[in-house]
Structure 1
Amino acid sequence: MTLRIYGIAASRTSRPLWVAQELGLAYEHIAQGYEGGGTHTPEFLALNPNGHIPVIDDDGIIVWESMACALYLAERFQAADGTSLAAQNHAERAEILRWSFWAVTECEKDALSFLMHRVAMAEERRKPELALQADRRLAPVLQVLEQHLQGRSYIAGERFTVADICVASVLAWVQRADAMAACPRVSEWVQRCTARPAHLQVRVMARNRAKP
């Protein structure tokens, strides 16, 4: 069996890579970037006609869209010791699905805008007003998760699951936001998730590729 994950770690590909690292999966990482039309070659478009990373090839089963990739790997595989990131019952599945989609529909656009215009882009290209607007829009959104985490250690209960990966991978972008500062439970949860060894290994992968 060959599992391939296409995409650079410094992108949404971090989501399936994080799952793979958590589970200790054997996989081939093809660090396909998007610069210079790399995701629009005939070979890559045969994998994902949308021309985006990440893509998973699980022995001919092709999955794209980062959250779908993460959810697929969690459902498909367990760690060698039997640890699972997937739902163990219908209630957990409901939590995993609703919060993973929530991260995409309610958070990701503004989180990315904040990241780019507060942190990631060269300073001369940033538009601080866009970061401020995104921060303000995120404030009531993050309060929803703040309330959900009252009395909980993780999104789907007391166990770390793929839901935590999907949501934390987005909210890690806004750790410097005022909206996050107003949500101490969310802030502490994001810090716990991103301090996990599997996530730290993905960050190392991202930094290593960035070196000249």
Structure 2
Amino acid sequence: MIRLYGVARSRATRPLWVLYETGMAFEQIPVVQAYRLADPLAADAPLNTASPEFLAVNAQGLVPALRDGDLVMTESLAISWYLARAYGGDLAPQTPQEEAMALQWAFVGGTAVEDAGLRITKAITADGYEAAMQQPAVQADIAALRRPFALIEAGLEGRDWLLGARFTVADIMLAECVRYAQPAKDLLADYPRLSAWLARAQNRPAFARVMADRAAEPA
């Protein structure tokens, strides 16, 4: 059986979403990030990214990780891609052209959207929306997101999903990167097709299940 290591309050949301879309059985091993614990190596500490048992799975000490038979994977976007290709049916790209575009959108999310979005979310969570919006660093991150967001906006012209009429793993991978920037509501309002696409993706039952998992976990 597939084993997914990680909690929903991590990038494990991406492969979790894929798994819930497929409806397949899997085992989730709730590995907590070590930085969230006062003493991750204490005898009574929960399984975490500094635990020797987990480091034997992923020497980087990062979640998520995946074990499927002899295959071990450690990058959330790659794990999501693999699960869709191996088990996802129509979630996976069906042609070389779809494969190329799905990889493009995954790379856009992972290289041009995620880091800036994370910093924006952290600033808004720590300081509140209005105060965060006054910070030069946040404004710089918002400015940096405008180019990839314009690319996504253009890519969605005349279509509901990134690859056309069909929801795919490309939508999951990119949406879970864009979600980090979602608290910057004024920024997203400038990109109506992107915003509508994100709302459609997040209206799927599988995404709601992932968010329910997150809500059920300790903050």
TM > 0.5:
yes
Structure 2 gap segments, 5+ residues each: 41-47
Aligned with residue 61 of structure 1, among 63, 71, 96 = 71
Mapped contact 1:142–1:179 kept (Cα < 8 A): no
Tell me, what secondary structure is at the counterpart of 2:66?
strand
Tell me if 1:207 matches 2:206. Answer: no
Instruction: Flag as ranges the 4+ runs of structure 1 deviating above 3 A.
Output: none
Q: Distance in 2 between matches of 1:163 and 1:169?
A: 10
2:11 corresponding residue in structure 1: 12
CA displacement at 1:127 relative to structure 2: 5.5
> For this pair of structures, how many residues does the alignment match?
203
1:133-176 CA deviation, whole Å, 9 max, x = no partner? 21121122201110111011111111100000000001122223
Q: Distance in 1 between matches of 2:13 and 2:153?
A: 24
1:30 corresponding residue in structure 2: 29
**TM score, norm. by length of structure 2:** 0.88
Q: Distance in 1 between matches of 2:204 and 2:106?
A: 19
Q: Distance in 2 between matches of 1:144 and 1:150?
A: 10
Tell me, what secondary structure is at the counterpart of 2:32?
coil
Structure 1 gap segments, 5+ residues each: none
Tell me if 1:46 matches 2:56. Answer: yes
Mapped contact 2:49–2:61 kept (Cα < 8 A): yes
Tell me, what secondary structure is at the counterpart of 1:47?
coil
Mapped contact 1:17–1:202 kept (Cα < 8 A): yes
Tell me if 1:116 matches 2:122. Answer: yes
Mapped contact 2:108–2:148 kept (Cα < 8 A): no
1:103 corresponding residue in structure 2: 109
Q: Distance in 2 between matches of 1:93 and 1:157?
A: 13
Tell me if 1:72 matches 2:82. Answer: yes
Mapped contact 2:114–2:180 kept (Cα < 8 A): no
